[in-house]
Amino acid sequence: MTTDERMDAIRSAIEEIVIPDGEDAGVILLSSESPTRYDPDLKRHVYLHENFSPLGDALVSLWKMTQEEE
């Protein structure tokens, strides 16, 4: 993947997370809810979502896009 292709993919991924400009700039487009359940053995709430929320998934995916391919 070329640098330009990588940057285009990253821009596209960012646009799925936020509105980049205009009156609503910065508004998160994904749910920030983090479903949890109480774990009686741990005596605390635990997340039911791998990256805490759909927004966490998108941000982790975006971060991975910035990493060099091996």
Q: For the chain, what are the domain ranges? A: 3-65
What is the predicted pLDDT for the residue at 19? 78
What is the predicted pLDDT for the residue at 33? 66
Q: Which helix (H) or strand (E) holds 39?
A: strand 36-39
What is the predicted pLDDT for the residue at 65? 86
Report pTM. Answer: 0.59
Q: Which residues does residue 24 pair with via DSSP β-bridges, in sequence order?
A: none
What is the predicted pLDDT for the residue at 66? 84
Can you tell me the distance from the alpha carbon of 20 to that of 29, in angstroms, rounded to the nearest whole number?
11
Can you tell me the distance from the alpha carbon of 14 to that of 55, in angstroms, rounded to the nearest whole number?
11
Query: Are 70 and 48 in contact, with CB atoms under 8 Å apart?
Result: no
Can you tell me the distance from the alpha carbon of 35 to that of 5, in angstroms, rounded to the nearest whole number?
35
Which tokens go with 32? 């920030």
What is the predicted pLDDT for the residue at 26? 79
Q: What is the mean pLDDT of each run of 10 residues along the chain (70 residues)?
A: 89 83 75 79 86 81 80
